[in-house]
Amino acid sequence: MKGPGFLFWGLFLACGLVVTAYVVWMWWEERR
Amino acid sequence: MSIQVTVFAAYFVVVFAIGWLSLRRTRTEEDYWIAGGRLGWFIGGATVAATHTSAGTFVGTIGVMYTAGWSFGWVLLSIPLAYWFVAAVLAPRFTRVRQLTLPAFMEDRYYSKGVRGLAAGIVLIATVVYIQAQIVAGGLIANIVFGVPTEWGMLGFTGILLAYTVIGGMIAVVYTDAFQLVVMLLGVLFALPLAVRQTDGLDNLLYLVESAHPMVFSWGTLPGTLLFTMGLAFFLGSIATPERLIRLYAMKDMKTIRRGMLFALVAITGINLIVFVLALAAIVLFPALPTGDLAMPMVATAVLPPTLGAVMLAAITAAMMSTVDSLLIVAGSALSVDIYQNLIHPDVTPRRRMVVDRMGIVVVGSVPVILLLSGVGEGELVQFIVLLFSALMASSFVVPVVGGVLWRRATKEGAAAAMLGGVSTTLTWEAYGPEHIDPVLPGFLVSAVLWTVVSLLTPPPPRGAVDPYFSDAVAQEMDP
């Protein structure tokens, strides 16, 4: 059985990355 | 059926109670239009997320999944990026002078009542179209839950919306939004595991979708250009719509805005991802629906146990109501503050102002329903109507608003040309342009070019008008 692969799971990964990046930016911005 | 009615009755009672309590906290026009500018990150972020999440998110997504497949989901990435842009670039400059409405910002930055009137006119007309799309969804839900004709449903929803929005203004709207976001989160969080179980697990669901509709998991369903311009439409549309910008004025300070935006983008992304998976389940469970718009209400009534199904339908209703109430505020303020009190009757007494404010909301709430009942503007795929609204707002406001706080030299003539050029290009492209390029792209480009060229050809703005938005720049220039 072949799964849908990156097209499907990649979206969840990408959303997680964007949110993590935002948190890092916010933390950096408030430390300034 | 009776459980559904009970859940909806309880939901409406809470919404009304919030509206009624808000009346006591609404003393000034600032309270009525921007909740006094005192919101914290939780309520501020919740109202942004609830306003963003429309009936289109729940009702329209499945239709798009049917035709466009999972690759459409990647468009979602543009939304958290847009809120990040707002928190990092736009908000710190835009909120330096706190206004009551977006057109008021346009007058302040572009030193012109005409620019304000034009902005208010565009907001009014576009918003009516958008409210219509949401009310159609409300009518469909009422038809499923209460078995009443769709027209009665549309009238009922509008009546409830008008009641609490007119009474409590923005304070009622933001607190009902927060409550409605909780209902939405509960709805999708309960629905997800149940729908996945119905299809014997996630792996099996993906397998079933792939074997029945191989195109759903293929990059080939949407041309790359369409995917990119749809993403751009969502990105631009999530930046400069008036109902979002006004929430920046409603939040306390920049720290609050940064945290509120984080909360909003996590909630929006999470809800959308879950709805995408529910859409896949609906494709498997209901392969032969007359229109994709019916799939999500079908999941609520046929897949979930009655109480949860009712919560899910209440969630879809909450999504619709929390978007429309915000648009009522925006359109009502455009009509009563920006057009009536600013251009037609500037010497209204403060007491009468509050009456005029409320009348504005009544008018902009009634017109879409009257138009719908007389058979004007009913659409099938709600999501695409929503997309045109974003395109119209983006092509008229992104350039003058974002550009206006980044470039001192931008003039009132440039702003007016940008708005008119953006709107007319978007509409023309939608009617006659090639379908594989979203109208926002040409609209945005024309708007940007006109704004730049016309600004350079006209006299520079007076210092006093632009200084408040560029005080850092002023400080740097004055530094030896």
Burial of residue B346 (CB within 10 Å: 0-12, 13-18, 19+) is: exposed
Burial B380-395 (b: 16+ CB within 10 A, else e): ebbbebbbbbbbbbbb
- CATH class belonging to B3-379: mainly alpha
The pLDDT score that the predictor gives to residue B254 is 95
Q: How far is CA B345 from the centre of its chain?
A: 30
- Report d(CA B164, CA B14) in Å as an integer: 11
Tens of pLDDT along B120-148? 999 988 887 778 877 877 787 788 778 88
Nearest-Cα distance to chain A for B104, in Å, is 29
The pLDDT score that the predictor gives to residue B452 is 97
- Report d(CA B228, CA B383) in Å as an integer: 17
Interface ipTM > 0.85: yes
The pLDDT score that the predictor gives to residue B475 is 42
- Kindly determine whether residue B80 and residue A12, on different chains, have CB atoms separated by under 8 Å: no
The pLDDT score that the predictor gives to residue A3 is 57
- Report d(CA B326, CA B319) in Å as an integer: 11
pTM: 0.90
- Closest residue by Cα to residue B451 from B423, B410, B407, B396: B410
Burial B18-47 (b: 16+ CB within 10 A, else e): bbeebeeebeebbbbbbbbbbbebebbbbb
- Report d(CA B448, CA B395) in Å as an integer: 9
The pLDDT score that the predictor gives to residue B450 is 97
The pLDDT score that the predictor gives to residue B472 is 65
For residue A14, the chain B residue with the least C-alpha distance is B77
Residues of chain B positioned with their CB less than 8 A from the CB of A15: 76-77, 80, 269, 273
Residue bearing tokens 């909630």: B267
> Hey, what are B208's tokens?
């079933």
User: Rg (Cα) of chain A, in Å, rounded?
Assistant: 15
Nearest by CB to B80, from A7, A19, A29: name it.
Answer: A19
- Closest residue by Cα to residue B15 from B153, B182, B154, B164: B164
Per run of 10 residues, the mean pLDDT along chain B (length 480 residues) is 82 89 88 93 95 80 77 91 96 93 95 94 84 79 81 89 90 92 88 88 89 82 78 86 93 96 96 91 80 73 80 81 89 91 86 87 88 66 59 90 95 97 90 81 94 97 90 47
Task: Say whether residue B208 is in contact with chain A using an 8 A CB cutoff.
Answer: no
- Report d(CA A10, CA B210) in Å as an integer: 17
- Closest residue by Cα to residue B206 from B300, B297, B284: B284
Residues of chain A positioned with their CB less than 8 A from the CB of B206: 3-4, 8
The pLDDT score that the predictor gives to residue B407 is 94
The pLDDT score that the predictor gives to residue B380 is 47
> Hey, what are B201's tokens?
């697990």
- SS3 of B251, please? strand
| CB-CB contact of B47 with B178 (8 Å) | yes
Residues of chain A positioned with their CB less than 8 A from the CB of B259: 26
Q: Residue B43 contacts by C-beta under 8 Å, 6 or more apart in sequence?
A: B174, B175, B178
The pLDDT score that the predictor gives to residue B377 is 54
Residues of chain B positioned with their CB less than 8 A from the CB of A26: 87, 258-259, 262
- Residues recorded for chain A: 32
- Closest residue by Cα to residue B366 from B408, B335, B404: B335
| CB-CB contact of B440 with B395 (8 Å) | yes
What does the domain layout of chain B look like in residue ranges?
3-379
